[in-house]
């Protein structure tokens, strides 16, 4: 409904949960496949996610269907996953376009390895604060941003209504450290890389 009201502003992404409490169960609920099929056939989405899948979860029928739907509709996958699951997504579909939620809560070293391995992998910084302290970007993260200037983006992680109160403080935190970066890197992380993700084509 929001997309219909403001298609130039809203970017709808399809979350595969019907209600709260399904984060750990959805992957084994094969009725989710029909739910996604119905939603995708009726509405416009830029991606599927944020979904939680770890390790061999990716090999399960529900996750394989998610990957197939993303291919069929040429949309991205927003994966709250460990590195193993991300690897398995690309093993299932080498042409997938994946946004790695929270950069996997992984170390800069591990994030670097994943970005080097997968050209169609982007990483968001939602719900993270280790990239900067007191407005100063951590040296390892700064080098990572510099080496991969087109692959990172900010995020807010408003997964529940009570999280909306954090949008303002998180935006202020992000603005503080982003402004210490040179252009165009600062603008890339702030918004341009998100636009690149939406424009990304399957290879």
pTM here is 0.95
Q: Is 59:88 a contact under the CB 8 Å cutoff?
A: yes
Handedness of CA 175, 177, 179, 184 (dihedral sign): negative
- The confidence band for 162, taking pLDDT boundaries of 50, 70 and 90, is confident
Residue 19 is predicted with a pLDDT of 87
Residue 156 is predicted with a pLDDT of 85
Distances (CA, A) of 195 to 116, 122, 125: 21, 11, 16
3-state secondary structure of 13: strand
| 49-108 tens-digit pLDDT | 999 999 999 999 999 999 999 999 999 999 999 999 999 999 999 999 999 999 999 999
């Amino acid at each position: 409904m929001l997309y219909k009201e403001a298609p130039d502003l809203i970017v709808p992404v399809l979350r595969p949960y019907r209600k709260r409490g399904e984060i750990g169960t959805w992957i084994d609920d094969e009725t989710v496949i029909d739910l996604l099929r119905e939603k995708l056939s009726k509405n416009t989405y830029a991606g599927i996610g944020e979904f939680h899948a770890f390790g061999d979860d990716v090999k399960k029928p529900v996750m394989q269907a998610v990957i197939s739907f993303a291919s069929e509709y040429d949309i991205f996958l927003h994966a709250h996953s460990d590195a193993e699951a991300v690897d398995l997504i690309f093993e299932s579909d080498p042409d997938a376009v994946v946004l790695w939620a929270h950069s996997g809560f992984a170390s800069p070293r591990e994030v670097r390895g994943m970005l080097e391995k997968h050209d169609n992998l982007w990483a968001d910084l939602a719900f993270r604060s280790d990239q900067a302290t007191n407005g100063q970007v951590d040296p390892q993260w700064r080098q990572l941003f510099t080496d991969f200037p087109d692959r990172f983006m900010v995020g807010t992680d408003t997964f529940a209504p009570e999280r909306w109160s954090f949008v303002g403080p998180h935006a202020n935190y992000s603005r503080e450290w982003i402004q210490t970066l040179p252009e165009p890197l600062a603008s890339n992380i702030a918004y341009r890389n998100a636009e690149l993700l939406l424009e990304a084509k399957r290879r």
